[in-house]
Amino acid sequence: MTDARTEQLDAIDFYWRPGCGFCMMLERSLGKAGIPFAKFNIWDEPDYAATVRKHANGNETVPTVVINGVAMVNPSAAEVMSVISTTAPHLLPDGWTPPEPGAVGRAARRIFGS
C-alpha cells in the first residue's frame, strides 16, 4: 500500500488506533486548527499498520502522520503545522502564521489547543 496522496494534496494522512490518548490529542488540535486529515485506523486494515511500521522502525507507534511523503511518528501539532507550511501550505487555514522560533508553553497551547 502507498500513502494516500493525490497530485494536489487535499488532506494529510493520520494513522491512529482506538484508545490512543496521543492520537485523540493530536486529532483535536489539528481539528481546532482547521487542518484537513484522512484517518486510517491501523487495527482495521493490515496495510495501514504496515505503513506505520515502515515509518516507525517496525513499530506500530501512533499517531503517525504522513504529509506529501514526509512521515512523523507521534508528532506534536506544532511539528505537523511546520511540515504542512513547507510541504502543503495550501492546507493551512487563511491567516495562519508559524509561531516564533522557540515559542512553547502557554503560547503554543493557545495556538494549537494542546
Mean pLDDT by 10 residues, the chain (114 residues): 56 97 96 94 97 96 95 94 90 76 50 45
- The CATH number assigned to the domain with range 12-112 reads 3.40.30.10
**Distance between CA 39 and CA 110 in Å, rounded?**
24
Residue 85 and residue 104 in contact, taking contact as beta carbons nearer than 8 Å: no
What is the reported pLDDT for 97?
72
What is the reported pLDDT for 107?
44
What is the reported pLDDT for 94?
81
**Distance between CA 112 and CA 29 in Å, rounded?**
5
**Distance between CA 90 and CA 42 in Å, rounded?**
27
What is the reported pLDDT for 65?
97
Predicted TM-score (pTM) of the model is 0.79
What is the reported pLDDT for 2?
43
**Distance between CA 5 and CA 65 in Å, rounded?**
12
